[in-house]
Amino acid sequence: MSTSLVLRDKACIWHPFTQQLNSPPPIPIVSGQGALLTDENDKTYIDAISSWWVNLHGHAHPYIAQKIYEQALRLEQVIFAGFTHQPAISLAERLIEILPGNFSKIFYSDNGSTSTEVALKMALQYWWNNSEPRRKKIIAFTNSYHGDTFGAMSVSERGIFTLAFHDLLFDVIFIDPPGNADIQAQIAIIDEDHEEIAAFIYEPLIQGAGGMLMHHAQGLDALISHMKSRGIICIADEVMTGFGRTGKLFASQWMKNLPDIICLSKGLTGGTMALGVTACDENIYSAYLSQEKLKTFFHGHSFTANPLACTAALASLDLLEKKESTLNILAIEKSNRKFADDLENFAERGQIKNIRNKGTILAFEIISGKDEYLNSIGSIVTDKALSKGVYIRPLGNTVYIMPPYCITEEELSKIFRTIIEILEEVNA
């Protein structure tokens, strides 16, 4: 490892979600190919979590890279107020065609958190534009995570991610995600305030940063149905679950009742460029069509609909539409199910619990101290996995994998073997 690069990094860079005091030195990565990352000493690591869930088709994919290069020679950026361009139009057309719902308009931003901010503002101003009755309350799930900007933090679980800002966040009604139990308790909470609830925001089926918590499609479907019967705008945060992660193109496709607004990012560009999307139906959009200029949606970003990012997203969609991607997703699902069975031995020993999998995602908890993000077992697992050439970044004691779709059977088997070896070592 280059001391020079690490020292230069330490001198000037503040890394995310990292306690800077006494943190281990970052690993300088110089290249990527497929599911592999290579450091400056030519050691390779299997990217078992798709570089924070964004990389779908593998690192340095030549098709996406070529499309970005070609676009960069034509147009790299242009203000999106008063101008437009083909990549943004083509991407909006393709998304509207495949999104799960009756969406009519695409609003661009630049990441997952901003896509949820846009959705919240869009829903709240919808009621403000309609004047009477104005609704101001938001309902969300416990253990949720929707981003790190203030609106997104407000509708997220009040936990360690938001602790320093609790007194600055707006009030939200939290309900438990649907489980095996009757949902009447959640419905009662909804009915108590339904005339004041503007919107319901939810991560469909899998709550990512909350600990890869999984809930039931049938129960969520019933909740969405009831929300809609009360006139509540339903916002699906598919920043993580979109583009095949749950086995369908979008997690919302597991339900009959579909969202009014949907938020996308992460895998949107195949993990190559920053881009966010908030799509809405015609009912939401029409509330902003007015002779009154104050009813304009006053929101935007400098890099809104960046041509390079839109081009990357179009290239990623091209790859997703290939049969190879579908077969790869199915193969990962099958391997995950088999590995979940293999893990039962460790559950029977009382070493792990709550083994679960959905689509390309598999997760479980190591029984060691509290179930929380600050559980130190996570860093132990990361260090041991890195030494074996696998990159895993647990959420506290929640170990999970979410690999790129291009991962080979051999690479996936190595991830599984590494996890088993680590569990054996930790148990010993």
Domain segments of the chain as ranges = 3-60+323-427, 75-320
pLDDT, tens digit, for every residue of 210-258? 999 999 999 999 999 999 999 999 999 999 999 999 999 999 999 999 9
Conformation bin of residue 400: beta by default, left when phi > 0, alpha when psi is -120 to 50: beta
Alpha-carbon dihedral sign for residues 14, 18, 23, 25: negative
pLDDT of residue 2: 56
Answer whether residue 283 shows pLDDT above 60. Answer: yes
Mean pLDDT across 368-383:
94
DSSP E strands in 331-397: the ranges are 352-358, 361-366, 390-391
Whether this prediction's pTM lies above 0.95 is answered by: yes
- Give CA angle at 357 (352, 362), nearest 5°: 65
Question: Looking at the domain that runs over 75-320, which CATH code has it been given?
Answer: 3.40.640.10
Amino acid (1-letter code) at residue 242:
G
pLDDT band at 208 (very low <50, low <70, confident <90, very high): very high
What fold is seen in the domain 3-60+323-427?
A: Aspartate Aminotransferase, domain 1 (3.90.1150)
Alpha-carbon dihedral 38, 208, 124, 119, rounded to 10 degrees: 40
Amino acid (1-letter code) at residue 390:
V
pLDDT of residue 395: 97
Mean pLDDT across 276-282:
98
